[in-house]
């Protein structure tokens, strides 16, 4: 195994699977170099269906250089409605061309506004909003610029062996949460989440709005540094660049409520939309999950098959791509290892690790030992997730391996593949580039 980039190790991704050298190069030199199209399962009625029975307008948007939350905010502002009335199945980053479904409640198709760098096409109406569960996966076409394609075959060979199915050439990688889950340039969301779990509201807020990173623009570093030293909320607002909307909103709340008590800081943190409040705790869960996978790699435990003590989940085969059904779990006892692994080999079951929450039950044997030791090292336990509002989480389990059929073309180096929902294209591509997360 090869040690990962330092920024990746900061978020729990401690190794590369492939020992082969990387191609180098960079992603997203232009938005069109990173194309994503969602694979959804969502039934709609015609656009002119009765709005009483079908109050949610569904539309497909192709967005260039928009992150999903930013587009939803812009759309809701133009419509003059709450952003909470806009729903979607999967959150996408900016610096890409993304095609995905949205729904918006109590809006007519002809009222949809024009939004810069967005092609919006009404699809139909529905009786409920689109939710995360409606997303099955994503198709990717990704161009890597200024790359050396020579190592591609060696990396592919390593990943095919790791995925456990060398016969059909399918590649596999640890199902890490990618860098963007935590912040590509400034990975702090998991730090905020860990403070939230300890109900350290002031530390959580300061981890987000202060805490400068050397990879940020100088004016942003200066603003965060000023706040860290002065704790002058009102003066800091004038220094923070206007594009840091969430930081400025938090600062405004602190300026209004005084920013002195834990309740003041919690109120400030709750200025975030509810989905972003959940993101902090989810990022803490993701960090623990990444560490569990890294420890499993270090100990040499397999990812493509179960060992005694693992917990597997069975497959939801009702659509494509096939997804893990984490409501159907089974502990792997010594006597059932071979039986379970026949299901795993056929794609009917997946080895899992926990996204820790109040309902988490750890595995047994060495897998369970890893899960408990990582949580102890980080300083979290299931009971910590018993928090009110958007901050609480019951937890779930997640497949530890993601596999895909990969097509690679050269000149320019281009990767075409599909991934199940929740898995990250950059986690696959980092194995090929090995050039660090800021190039992904």
Rounded Cα–Cα distance for residues 8 and 430 (Å): 10
What are the structure tokens assigned to 163, written together?
């995925």
Q: Say if residue 195 is exposed, middle or buried (CB neighbours under 10 Å; 0-12, 13-18, 19+).
A: buried
CB atoms within 10 A of CB 419: 22
Rounded Cα–Cα distance for residues 157 and 163 (Å): 10
3-state SS track over 202-258: HHHHHHHHCCCCCCCCHHHHHHHHHHHHHCCHHHHHHHCCCCCHHHHHHHHHHHHHC
Side-chain-facing half-sphere of 378: CA atoms under 13 Å: 30
What are the structure tokens assigned to 146, written together?
């200024």
Helices (H), 101-188: 152-163
> CA dist 269 to 203, 336, 383, Å?
11, 47, 21
119 is catalytic: no
* Residue among 33, 53, 67, 93 flagged as catalytic: 93
> What residue ranges in 237-348 does DSSP mark as E strands?
311-316, 323-331
Give catalytic residue positions. 93
């Amino acid at each position: 195994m090869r040690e990962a980039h330092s920024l990746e190790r900061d978020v729990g991704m401690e190794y590369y699977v492939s020992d082969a050298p990387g191609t180098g190069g960079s992603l997203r030199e232009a938005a069109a170099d990173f194309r994503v199209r969602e694979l959804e399962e969502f039934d709609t009625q015609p656009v002119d269906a009765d709005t009483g029975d079908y109050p949610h307008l569904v539309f497909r948007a192709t967005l260039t250089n928009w992150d999903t939350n930013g587009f939803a905010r812009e759309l809701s502002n133009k419509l003059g409605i709450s952003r909470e009335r806009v729903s979607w199945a999967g959150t996408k980053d900016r610096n890409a061309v993304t095609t995905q479904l949205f729904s918006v409640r109590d809006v007519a198709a002809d009222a949809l506004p024009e939004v810069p760098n967005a092609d919006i096409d009404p699809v139909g109406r529905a009786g409920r909003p689109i939710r995360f569960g409606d997303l099955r996966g994503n198709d990717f076409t990704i161009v890597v610029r200024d790359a050396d394609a020579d190592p591609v075959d060696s990396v592919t060979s390593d990943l095919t062996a790791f995925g456990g199915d060398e016969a059909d050439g399918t590649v596999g990688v640890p199902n890490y949460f990618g860098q963007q889950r935590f912040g590509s340039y400034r990975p702090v969301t998991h730090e905020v989440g860990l403070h939230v779990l300890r109900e350290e509201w002031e530390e959580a807020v300061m981890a987000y709005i202060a805490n400068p990173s050397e990879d940020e623009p100088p004016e942003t570093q200066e603003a965060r540094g000023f706040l860290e030293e002065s704790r002058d909320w009102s003066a800091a607002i004038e220094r923070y660049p206007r594009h840091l909307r969430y930081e400025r909103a938090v600062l405004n709340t602190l300026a209004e409520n005084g920013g002195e008590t834990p309740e003041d800081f919690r109120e400030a943190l709750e200025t975030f939309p509810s989905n972003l409040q959940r993101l902090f705790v989810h990022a803490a869960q993701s960090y623990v999950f990444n560490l569990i996978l890294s420890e499993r790699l270090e100990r040499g435990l397999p990812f493509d098959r179960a060992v005694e003590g693992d917990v597997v989940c069975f497959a939801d085969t009702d659509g494509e791509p096939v997804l893990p059904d984490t409501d159907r779990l089974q502990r792997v006892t010594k006597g059932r290892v071979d039986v379970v692994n026949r299901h795993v080999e056929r794609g009917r079951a997946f080895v899992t690790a926990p996204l820790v929450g109040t309902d988490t039950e750890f595995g047994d044997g060495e897998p369970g030992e890893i899960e408990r030791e990582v949580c102890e090292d980080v300083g979290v336990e299931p009971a910590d997730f018993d928090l009110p509002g958007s901050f609480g989480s019951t937890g779930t389990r997640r497949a530890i391996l993601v596999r895909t059929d990969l097509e690679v073309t050269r000149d320019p180096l281009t990767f075409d593949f599909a991934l199940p929902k929740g898995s990250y294209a950059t986690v696959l591509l980092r194995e090929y580039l090995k050039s660090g997360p800021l190039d992904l």
